Structure 1
């Protein structure tokens, strides 16, 4: 095999790896108004916040809505997986890399009728599989911080949490 052909194959493989690394599958559960399906599309306050975060970070992100346990399991098994709206606690801390906070329940709980007391939970996060590189985690955190600073989070809150 010629050196030129080997180099071309190596470049294609490298580009494929880079493209794969910039793709995430984001799992969530049915948790209105933060995540739910409308017209066959996953949407909601946290979904749209995470979707905009992915766009700003220039990442391709697919959104999948499963029952909670299945979503949690998928995110831990898929090296390109992540889970949101996830409360961050001492038991989960070492199991994921964290981006957030996303919506803070204590500030929005008065406009939704919760089935559980969310005031003890506080904020929730995007929990990323440990296999994802720290540079990608930082890229997402920076993008999320920019969305907060620009007022985009406030706009989404008004859109999804207005009574």
Structure 2
């Protein structure tokens, strides 16, 4: 490799790292912003943890899913999902049926709808502050990021975490 090519490669890598760090910083700032605080204020009133809310959203969007499906979706162990599901059942937000099938209760569905509305309203209050052109560019950029992320192979740690999760055999996890 020529010195000029090495410098060009190094410069691209430095820009890539800088872009990555900048994007991570922006996402962290965004997720810690006002509309997230509004959403989590309601969740805290219900003593609903982030993990519980994510599992509840997943089950509501995927009625009849198995606990193993939830574990795979989040890359965690079945034991971790079991703890979260136990708490959600205690709060009457979901039920665990035969063969560990999960369903959101009416209360759970209502809560998901309420949290979605809070999230949507909070984001809308932010989006009205930027131009239509900037919103379109933002959506286009995020769609490209999601598309690119879907084409990236899972890291080895995520694959091994997923492998630990197996559907229950004999009816007992």
State TM-score, norm by structure 2.
Answer: 0.28
Q: Is the radius of gyration larger for structure 1 or structure 2? A: 2
1 or 2, which has the higher strand percentage? Answer: 1
Higher normalized helix content (fraction of residues): 2
